Structure 1
Amino acid sequence: MPRTTNSQSRSRPDIADALAEAIFAGEHAPGEFLPREIDLCEAFAVSRSTVRSALQVLVAAGMIIRISGQGSRVQPLEKWHLLDPRVSHWLARFAHPNPVIQREIFAFRVAVEPFVARLAAENATAVDLLAIETAWQGMIRALEHDDLRFEGKTHDQYDVEFHEAIFNASHNLVWAQISHVLKPAIALLVERSNQSADRLQDSMDRHRRVMEAIRLRQPAEAAQAALAVLERTGQDLGLEGLSRQLPNIETNFDSSTTLPHNDSSQTQEG
C-alpha cells in the first residue's frame, strides 16, 4: 500500500461520520446491513483496521450491531444513544432528510418543554431572566437584517439560546444538562421551522409570551405559552397531526397582546 501523506490523510472523510450520514439519511434503514468491510475499505481507500475502528464508533453510539459472520446491521432508532454528544452532533448535521427523527425530537420537546417552562417560572433568578430576554432581543434584532444576523450570531442561534436559557432557569441539574446535550437536536428543528418572515414574527410573539409568563412567575401560563411555541413549530415542520394533539393552546398571539408588569421583587434572585 502506498504511503499516505498528511495532506492526503486530512482530505479523507471521517468514515464514522460518512456512515452516520448515510444512516440518518435512510440509505441504510434499521435492520439492513452496511456494506461489507472489504467494500468500505475500497470505497474509502483505507485499511481494514481503520474501517473497523469507524464501525466501533457506531457500535458505541448504539447505531449498529456487529454480527459475527454476517456484518454490521443498523439498529432500531430506539437503540441509538441520542444523548451521546457525538450522536447529538450527527443529529444536527445529518437528520434533515429524516422525517422520523424530526418527529421523534418534536414529540420529546412537546412532552418536556412545557414542564420545564413551568419550572422556570417558579425558579428563575434575575440572571436567568436576563439571559432569556437577551436571547429574545437577539432574535428580534436579527430579524431587522436581511441576513438574519445580529452581533455575529444568526436568528436561529439566538432561538436555541432562548430555549437553553429556559432549561437553565429550571434550576434542575438534570434538565440543565439535557439542554446541553440536546442543543444540536433543538437547533435542527429551529432551523427547519424558521422559514418565512410572517412565520418568524408569529413565532416571536409566542416566544415573548413564554418570556413574560416566566418573568411574572406564572407557571401554568408559561407551560401553555411553551406549547403554543411548539404548535407553531409543528405547523412549520408539517407535523400538524402532533400539533392538533397539543392541549388547551391559545393560538391568537398577536403583537398587541400584553401582560401586566410585575413588581421589582419578582425579578430578584432567590
Structure 2
Amino acid sequence: MARASLVQSVSDRLLDDIISGELPQGAPLPREIDLAERLGVNRLTLREALKTLQAQGVVQPVPGTRGRVLPMEDWTGIEPLLRAATSTEGKAQASVQLVQLRRMIETGACELAAPLRTDDDLERLEACLEEMRAASADDDVHTFVTADIAFHDVVLRASGNPFLRVLLEPLGRFLYERRYETSAVPQVQVNAIREHAAILEALRSGEAAASRAAMESHMQQTADDLQQYVLRPRA
C-alpha cells in the first residue's frame, strides 16, 4: 500500500474508533507505542495519521503528554463530521441537524431568489417539479430524489450568492441518502410535491417574504416527515 494511502487508512481507523467510543471523546489518547502496535504500523505512520486528525480538529496534541481526543462539537473538518454522521450511532441525530442546517440556508436563499429569479429559472423549477410528479407516479425514488435536489439547486443558484451552494455541496452524498430514505415513503412524496409547487408559485410572484415562508413551510414538513416516517419507532 502506498504510504499516503496507508496514512489515510490509519487515520480512518482511528476516527472510527473515536466515533464508536473505543477512543472516548475528551479522553487522553493511548500511548503512541501502544496505538502503533494495536494498528500494526510503525510510529512514524501513526504520527502522520494523528497529524491528519489534528488538522481536522479531532485530536489535540498536548506537550509533554499523549494528547487527547476533542469533543465532536469542537471538530473543524467536514470529513470527520460526515463520517460520524453516516455511522449507525450518529445517523438519526445528523439527519435532524441536516434539516436544521437546510432550514437556515435555504429559507434565506429562497427569499433572496424571489426578486432575482429569471424566466429560465422558473422553467427549470417547473421541469424539476414535473419530473418529481412523473417519478412519483412511476415509483422511481432515485429520479424523484434527483429532481428534488435539482429543484433546490436552482433556488440556491437563483439567490445570486454562490457561497450558499458551496456550504451545502460537501453534504451532497449525505443529502441524497437521507432524502432517499424519506422519499421512499409515498406520503412523503405527496407532501414534497405540494410544498415544491407552493415554492414555485411564491417565486413566480417575485415576493421575497412569501418565498421565504413557502420554503420555511417545506422545511417544517420535511422535519415532520423525518420524525413521523423514519425516526419514530414503529410498533
How far apart are residue 224 of structure 1 and its match? 1.4
Structure 1 segment 249-264 matched on structure 2, within 5 A: none
Letter in 2 for 1:65: Q
Does residue 180 (structure 1) correspond to residue 173 (structure 2)? The answer is no
How far apart are residue 118 of structure 1 and its match? 0.8
CA contact (8 A) 1:116 1:166 kept: yes
Structure 1 segment 69-218 matched on structure 2, within 5 A: 69-81=64-76, 84=78, 86-87=79-80, 90=83, 93-94=86-87, 97-150=90-143, 155-184=144-173, 186-187=175-176, 189-218=178-207
* In structure 2, distance between residues paired with 1:185 and 1:62: 21
The residue aligned with 2:231 is: none
- Matched length: 227
CA contact (8 A) 1:95 1:101 kept: no
CA contact (8 A) 1:25 1:95 kept: no
* In structure 2, distance between residues paired with 1:117 and 1:32: 43
**1:67 aligned counterpart, secondary structure:** coil
* In structure 2, distance between residues paired with 1:43 and 1:141: 53
Can you list the C-alpha shifts for 1:225-257, whole angstroms capped at 9, x where unaligned? Answer: 211211122123339xxxxxxxxxxxxxxxxxx
* In structure 1, distance between residues paired with 2:127 and 2:35: 48
Does residue 53 (structure 1) correspond to residue 42 (structure 2)? The answer is no
* In structure 1, distance between residues paired with 2:148 and 2:81: 18
Gaps of 5+ in 2: 229-235
Can you list the C-alpha shifts for 1:20-73, whole angstroms capped at 9, x where unaligned? Answer: 344445555531345554444344433222222222222211222122454343
* In structure 1, distance between residues paired with 2:123 and 2:24: 44
* In structure 2, distance between residues paired with 1:142 and 1:45: 49
Of all paired residues, the percent bearing the same amino acid is: 26
**Aligned alpha-carbon RMSD (Å):** 3.4
CA contact (8 A) 2:57 2:75 kept: yes
Letter in 1 for 2:68: R
**1:122 aligned counterpart, secondary structure:** coil
The residue aligned with 1:64 is: 59
The residue aligned with 1:250 is: none
How far apart are residue 197 of structure 1 and its match? 0.9
Gaps of 5+ in 1: 240-270
Does residue 31 (structure 1) correspond to residue 32 (structure 2)? The answer is no
How far apart are residue 92 of structure 1 and its match? 6.2
CA contact (8 A) 2:7 2:48 kept: no
Query: Which TM-score applies when normalising by structure 1?
Result: 0.67
Alpha carbons of 1:95 and 1:220: their partners in 2 closer, same or farther (altered >3 Å)? Answer: farther
Does residue 220 (structure 1) correspond to residue 213 (structure 2)? The answer is no
**1:117 aligned counterpart, secondary structure:** helix
* In structure 1, distance between residues paired with 2:29 and 2:124: 45
Alpha carbons of 1:198 and 1:118: their partners in 2 closer, same or farther (altered >3 Å)? Answer: same
